[in-house]
Amino acid sequence: MKKFLKKATLFAVALSVVIAPATTLAANKDKDPTMNDERFLVIGHRGVSGLAPEHTIPAYDRVKEEKGDYIEVDIQMTKDGKLVALHDTTLDRTTNGTGEVRDHTLEEIKQLDAGSWFNEAYPEKADESYEGLEVPTLEEVFQRYGKDTKYYIETKSPDVYPGMEEKLLELLEKYNLDGANERSSKVIIQSFSQESLLKVHEMDPDLPLVQLLWYEPGENGKYEEYSGVTPSPSDVTSEDLEEIDRYAVGIGMNYRYDGELFYDEDFIEEARELDLLVHPYTVNSKSDMDLLLDWGVTGMFTNYAGKLHDVTHDDN
Protein backbone atom coordinates (compact mmCIF):
# COMPACT_ATOMS: atom_id res chain seq x y z
CA MET A 1 0.00 0.00 0.00
CA LYS A 2 1.59 3.28 -1.07
CA LYS A 3 1.66 6.43 0.96
CA PHE A 4 -0.22 9.41 -0.46
CA LEU A 5 0.79 13.02 -0.97
CA LYS A 6 4.47 12.76 -0.16
CA LYS A 7 4.81 16.55 0.01
CA ALA A 8 1.53 17.33 1.73
CA THR A 9 0.75 17.97 5.35
CA LEU A 10 -2.42 16.48 6.82
CA PHE A 11 -3.77 18.24 9.83
CA ALA A 12 -6.85 19.18 11.78
CA VAL A 13 -6.91 22.85 12.75
CA ALA A 14 -6.37 23.57 16.46
CA LEU A 15 -5.28 20.03 17.33
CA SER A 16 -1.91 19.21 18.83
CA VAL A 17 -1.99 15.88 17.02
CA VAL A 18 -3.32 15.02 13.61
CA ILE A 19 -4.88 11.63 14.29
CA ALA A 20 -5.73 10.45 17.77
CA PRO A 21 -4.23 7.19 19.00
CA ALA A 22 -6.24 4.09 18.11
CA THR A 23 -6.94 3.45 21.79
CA THR A 24 -8.58 6.86 22.14
CA LEU A 25 -10.68 6.29 19.06
CA ALA A 26 -11.67 2.82 20.18
CA ALA A 27 -13.02 4.27 23.40
CA ASN A 28 -15.32 6.50 21.35
CA LYS A 29 -16.32 3.84 18.84
CA ASP A 30 -19.77 2.63 19.78
CA LYS A 31 -20.22 1.20 16.30
CA ASP A 32 -18.82 1.57 12.82
CA PRO A 33 -20.56 4.68 11.46
CA THR A 34 -21.94 4.47 7.97
CA MET A 35 -24.29 6.34 5.67
CA ASN A 36 -26.11 5.67 2.44
CA ASP A 37 -23.64 6.27 -0.38
CA GLU A 38 -25.92 5.43 -3.28
CA ARG A 39 -26.86 9.06 -3.94
CA PHE A 40 -24.36 11.70 -4.97
CA LEU A 41 -24.58 14.78 -2.72
CA VAL A 42 -24.63 18.36 -4.04
CA ILE A 43 -23.57 20.51 -1.08
CA GLY A 44 -24.25 24.24 -1.24
CA HIS A 45 -20.98 25.72 0.03
CA ARG A 46 -22.05 28.50 2.42
CA GLY A 47 -25.31 28.41 0.44
CA VAL A 48 -25.13 29.26 -3.26
CA SER A 49 -22.33 31.63 -2.36
CA GLY A 50 -21.26 32.19 -5.94
CA LEU A 51 -24.48 34.10 -6.60
CA ALA A 52 -25.49 35.58 -3.22
CA PRO A 53 -23.70 36.69 -0.03
CA GLU A 54 -22.41 33.62 1.79
CA HIS A 55 -24.23 32.44 4.90
CA THR A 56 -27.25 34.66 4.34
CA ILE A 57 -30.86 33.65 3.80
CA PRO A 58 -30.82 34.44 0.05
CA ALA A 59 -27.78 32.18 -0.40
CA TYR A 60 -29.45 29.39 1.57
CA ASP A 61 -32.77 29.82 -0.28
CA ARG A 62 -31.05 29.23 -3.59
CA VAL A 63 -29.71 25.82 -2.58
CA LYS A 64 -33.13 24.24 -2.79
CA GLU A 65 -34.05 26.36 -5.81
CA GLU A 66 -31.03 24.98 -7.63
CA LYS A 67 -31.73 21.40 -6.48
CA GLY A 68 -28.86 21.12 -4.04
CA ASP A 69 -29.03 18.39 -1.41
CA TYR A 70 -27.45 20.12 1.59
CA ILE A 71 -27.05 23.63 2.95
CA GLU A 72 -23.60 24.02 4.45
CA VAL A 73 -23.71 26.12 7.62
CA ASP A 74 -20.49 27.20 9.34
CA ILE A 75 -21.12 28.17 12.95
CA GLN A 76 -19.43 30.61 15.28
CA MET A 77 -20.54 31.57 18.81
CA THR A 78 -21.33 35.04 20.13
CA LYS A 79 -20.29 36.57 23.44
CA ASP A 80 -23.67 35.61 24.89
CA GLY A 81 -23.49 32.03 23.67
CA LYS A 82 -25.62 32.10 20.51
CA LEU A 83 -24.63 30.11 17.42
CA VAL A 84 -24.51 32.23 14.26
CA ALA A 85 -23.85 31.37 10.64
CA LEU A 86 -20.46 32.83 9.73
CA HIS A 87 -17.35 31.33 8.19
CA ASP A 88 -14.75 33.53 9.86
CA THR A 89 -14.02 34.00 13.54
CA THR A 90 -13.93 37.73 12.77
CA LEU A 91 -16.62 40.02 11.40
CA ASP A 92 -14.44 42.05 9.07
CA ARG A 93 -14.65 40.18 5.76
CA THR A 94 -18.40 39.60 5.35
CA THR A 95 -19.99 42.35 7.43
CA ASN A 96 -19.45 46.05 8.07
CA GLY A 97 -18.32 45.19 11.59
CA THR A 98 -14.86 44.53 12.99
CA GLY A 99 -13.34 42.27 15.58
CA GLU A 100 -13.91 38.76 16.89
CA VAL A 101 -17.37 37.21 16.85
CA ARG A 102 -16.83 35.99 20.41
CA ASP A 103 -16.40 39.58 21.61
CA HIS A 104 -19.85 40.69 20.38
CA THR A 105 -23.34 39.89 21.58
CA LEU A 106 -25.99 38.62 19.21
CA GLU A 107 -27.81 41.95 19.48
CA GLU A 108 -24.66 43.74 18.33
CA ILE A 109 -24.08 41.35 15.44
CA LYS A 110 -27.70 41.68 14.33
CA GLN A 111 -27.09 45.38 13.71
CA LEU A 112 -24.47 44.61 11.05
CA ASP A 113 -24.84 44.55 7.27
CA ALA A 114 -23.88 41.10 5.98
CA GLY A 115 -24.75 41.62 2.32
CA SER A 116 -23.45 44.90 0.89
CA TRP A 117 -19.87 43.61 0.73
CA PHE A 118 -20.99 41.09 -1.93
CA ASN A 119 -22.38 43.84 -4.18
CA GLU A 120 -19.11 45.71 -3.90
CA ALA A 121 -16.96 42.64 -4.54
CA TYR A 122 -19.10 41.27 -7.39
CA PRO A 123 -20.87 44.18 -9.10
CA GLU A 124 -21.91 41.91 -11.99
CA LYS A 125 -23.92 39.85 -9.48
CA ALA A 126 -25.12 42.72 -7.32
CA ASP A 127 -28.69 42.89 -6.08
CA GLU A 128 -30.20 45.74 -4.07
CA SER A 129 -31.99 43.21 -1.86
CA TYR A 130 -28.61 42.05 -0.52
CA GLU A 131 -28.00 45.39 1.17
CA GLY A 132 -28.56 45.27 4.91
CA LEU A 133 -28.92 41.49 5.21
CA GLU A 134 -28.57 40.15 8.75
CA VAL A 135 -26.27 37.44 10.03
CA PRO A 136 -28.66 34.52 10.71
CA THR A 137 -28.52 32.41 13.83
CA LEU A 138 -28.46 28.64 13.45
CA GLU A 139 -31.82 28.54 15.19
CA GLU A 140 -33.29 30.95 12.63
CA VAL A 141 -31.99 28.69 9.86
CA PHE A 142 -33.73 25.69 11.44
CA GLN A 143 -36.91 27.71 11.94
CA ARG A 144 -36.96 28.81 8.31
CA TYR A 145 -36.19 25.50 6.61
CA GLY A 146 -37.30 22.91 9.17
CA LYS A 147 -37.09 19.19 8.56
CA ASP A 148 -37.65 19.52 4.81
CA THR A 149 -34.03 20.62 4.35
CA LYS A 150 -30.74 18.84 4.97
CA TYR A 151 -27.92 20.55 6.85
CA TYR A 152 -24.16 20.08 6.62
CA ILE A 153 -22.92 21.90 9.74
CA GLU A 154 -19.32 22.73 10.57
CA THR A 155 -18.07 23.42 14.07
CA LYS A 156 -15.64 26.22 13.25
CA SER A 157 -12.71 26.83 15.61
CA PRO A 158 -14.34 24.89 18.47
CA ASP A 159 -11.26 25.50 20.63
CA VAL A 160 -12.26 29.18 20.63
CA TYR A 161 -15.82 28.40 21.74
CA PRO A 162 -16.06 26.02 24.72
CA GLY A 163 -19.48 24.39 24.82
CA MET A 164 -20.21 24.86 21.11
CA GLU A 165 -20.98 21.18 20.59
CA GLU A 166 -23.45 21.04 23.48
CA LYS A 167 -25.33 24.08 22.17
CA LEU A 168 -25.42 22.58 18.68
CA LEU A 169 -26.89 19.30 19.88
CA GLU A 170 -29.42 21.13 22.05
CA LEU A 171 -30.71 22.93 18.95
CA LEU A 172 -30.77 19.71 16.91
CA GLU A 173 -32.85 18.08 19.62
CA LYS A 174 -35.16 21.10 19.93
CA TYR A 175 -35.96 20.96 16.20
CA ASN A 176 -36.11 17.15 16.03
CA LEU A 177 -33.05 16.90 13.83
CA ASP A 178 -31.12 14.50 16.08
CA GLY A 179 -31.64 10.82 16.74
CA ALA A 180 -31.10 7.96 14.32
CA ASN A 181 -29.65 10.05 11.57
CA GLU A 182 -27.16 8.04 9.61
CA ARG A 183 -29.56 6.64 7.04
CA SER A 184 -31.90 9.63 6.76
CA SER A 185 -28.90 11.97 7.01
CA LYS A 186 -30.91 15.11 7.76
CA VAL A 187 -27.80 16.48 9.42
CA ILE A 188 -24.09 15.88 8.86
CA ILE A 189 -21.55 17.39 11.25
CA GLN A 190 -18.10 18.26 9.90
CA SER A 191 -15.00 19.76 11.45
CA PHE A 192 -11.26 20.10 11.02
CA SER A 193 -11.11 19.38 14.75
CA GLN A 194 -11.04 15.67 15.45
CA GLU A 195 -11.51 16.48 19.12
CA SER A 196 -14.77 18.27 18.35
CA LEU A 197 -16.06 15.37 16.24
CA LEU A 198 -15.21 12.83 18.92
CA LYS A 199 -17.06 14.98 21.45
CA VAL A 200 -20.15 15.04 19.22
CA HIS A 201 -19.85 11.29 18.65
CA GLU A 202 -19.74 10.65 22.39
CA MET A 203 -22.86 12.75 22.97
CA ASP A 204 -24.80 11.38 19.98
CA PRO A 205 -23.24 8.40 18.17
CA ASP A 206 -26.05 8.40 15.60
CA LEU A 207 -25.04 11.71 14.04
CA PRO A 208 -22.93 11.17 10.88
CA LEU A 209 -19.57 12.95 11.04
CA VAL A 210 -17.13 14.05 8.36
CA GLN A 211 -13.47 14.70 9.10
CA LEU A 212 -12.22 17.73 7.21
CA LEU A 213 -8.63 17.62 6.00
CA TRP A 214 -6.29 20.27 4.69
CA TYR A 215 -3.27 19.63 2.53
CA GLU A 216 -0.49 22.09 1.90
CA PRO A 217 2.70 21.45 -0.09
CA GLY A 218 6.13 21.57 1.46
CA GLU A 219 9.36 22.71 -0.14
CA ASN A 220 11.89 20.00 -0.98
CA GLY A 221 9.92 17.53 1.07
CA LYS A 222 9.91 19.77 4.14
CA TYR A 223 6.69 20.74 5.86
CA GLU A 224 5.77 24.36 6.23
CA GLU A 225 3.80 26.30 8.79
CA TYR A 226 0.17 27.01 8.01
CA SER A 227 -1.68 29.87 9.72
CA GLY A 228 0.86 29.86 12.51
CA VAL A 229 0.24 26.20 13.32
CA THR A 230 3.02 23.65 12.86
CA PRO A 231 1.33 20.26 12.99
CA SER A 232 3.03 16.93 13.16
CA PRO A 233 3.59 16.12 9.48
CA SER A 234 2.15 12.88 8.19
CA ASP A 235 1.59 11.21 4.89
CA VAL A 236 -1.88 9.77 4.60
CA THR A 237 -1.83 6.00 4.86
CA SER A 238 -4.54 3.38 4.83
CA GLU A 239 -4.10 3.21 8.62
CA ASP A 240 -4.93 6.92 8.91
CA LEU A 241 -8.12 6.42 6.93
CA GLU A 242 -9.02 3.39 9.03
CA GLU A 243 -8.71 5.48 12.20
CA ILE A 244 -10.97 8.17 10.75
CA ASP A 245 -13.42 5.43 9.80
CA ARG A 246 -13.75 4.51 13.49
CA TYR A 247 -15.84 7.62 14.18
CA ALA A 248 -16.69 9.29 10.84
CA VAL A 249 -18.74 8.43 7.78
CA GLY A 250 -16.51 10.38 5.43
CA ILE A 251 -13.74 12.84 4.68
CA GLY A 252 -13.70 16.25 3.06
CA MET A 253 -10.56 17.86 1.71
CA ASN A 254 -9.26 20.75 -0.35
CA TYR A 255 -8.70 19.09 -3.69
CA ARG A 256 -6.48 21.88 -5.05
CA TYR A 257 -3.92 24.28 -3.63
CA ASP A 258 -2.62 27.10 -5.83
CA GLY A 259 -4.13 25.28 -8.78
CA GLU A 260 -2.36 21.97 -8.10
CA LEU A 261 -4.36 18.78 -7.68
CA PHE A 262 -3.46 17.12 -4.39
CA TYR A 263 -4.63 13.57 -4.81
CA ASP A 264 -5.55 11.07 -7.45
CA GLU A 265 -8.02 8.32 -8.19
CA ASP A 266 -6.08 5.88 -5.98
CA PHE A 267 -6.73 8.04 -2.93
CA ILE A 268 -10.46 8.06 -3.61
CA GLU A 269 -10.44 4.31 -4.13
CA GLU A 270 -8.69 3.67 -0.79
CA ALA A 271 -11.25 5.79 1.07
CA ARG A 272 -14.17 4.19 -0.75
CA GLU A 273 -12.92 0.69 0.08
CA LEU A 274 -13.58 1.65 3.71
CA ASP A 275 -17.04 2.92 2.72
CA LEU A 276 -15.95 6.45 3.62
CA LEU A 277 -17.81 9.18 1.79
CA VAL A 278 -15.50 11.56 -0.06
CA HIS A 279 -16.60 15.21 -0.36
CA PRO A 280 -13.91 17.50 -1.83
CA TYR A 281 -14.18 21.28 -1.57
CA THR A 282 -14.73 23.75 -3.22
CA VAL A 283 -15.48 22.56 -6.76
CA ASN A 284 -16.75 25.27 -9.11
CA SER A 285 -15.60 24.41 -12.63
CA LYS A 286 -17.36 21.87 -14.82
CA SER A 287 -14.05 20.29 -15.84
CA ASP A 288 -13.13 19.61 -12.20
CA MET A 289 -16.63 18.34 -11.46
CA ASP A 290 -16.34 15.87 -14.34
CA LEU A 291 -12.87 14.76 -13.26
CA LEU A 292 -13.83 14.15 -9.65
CA LEU A 293 -16.97 12.31 -10.68
CA ASP A 294 -14.83 10.03 -12.83
CA TRP A 295 -12.63 9.38 -9.82
CA GLY A 296 -15.62 8.24 -7.77
CA VAL A 297 -16.23 10.95 -5.17
CA THR A 298 -19.62 10.72 -3.48
CA GLY A 299 -20.39 14.44 -3.23
CA MET A 300 -18.87 17.89 -3.65
CA PHE A 301 -18.99 21.28 -1.99
CA THR A 302 -19.66 23.96 -4.59
CA ASN A 303 -20.56 27.64 -4.77
CA TYR A 304 -22.82 26.82 -7.72
CA ALA A 305 -25.25 24.07 -6.73
CA GLY A 306 -27.24 24.41 -9.95
CA LYS A 307 -24.17 23.84 -12.11
CA LEU A 308 -23.15 20.72 -10.17
CA HIS A 309 -26.71 19.39 -10.27
CA ASP A 310 -26.75 19.80 -14.05
CA VAL A 311 -23.40 18.03 -14.41
CA THR A 312 -24.51 15.07 -12.29
CA HIS A 313 -27.83 14.80 -14.16
CA ASP A 314 -26.41 15.11 -17.67
CA ASP A 315 -27.60 12.07 -19.61
CA ASN A 316 -25.45 12.84 -22.65
Rounded to an integer, what distance in angstroms lies between the CA atom of residue 153 and that of residue 81?
Answer: 17
Among candidate residues 45, 55, 104, 201, the one labeled active-site is: 45
For the chain, how many residues are written?
A: 316
Among candidate residues 55, 87, 201, 279, the one labeled active-site is: 87
State yes or no: is 45 an active-site residue.
yes
Rounded to an integer, what distance in angstroms lies between the CA atom of residue 22 and that of residue 244?
Answer: 10
**What is the Cα Rg of the chain in Å?**
19
| 224 C-beta neighbours (distance < 10 Å), count | 11
| 142 C-beta neighbours (distance < 10 Å), count | 20
The contacts of residue 64 (CB under 8 Å, 6+ apart) are 145, 149
Residue 226, strand partner residues? 229
Rounded to an integer, what distance in angstroms lies between the CA atom of residue 126 and that of residue 115?
Answer: 10
State yes or no: is 279 an active-site residue.
no
Residue 59 has φ and ψ, to the nearest 5°, of -70, -40
Active-site residue numbers?
Answer: 45, 87
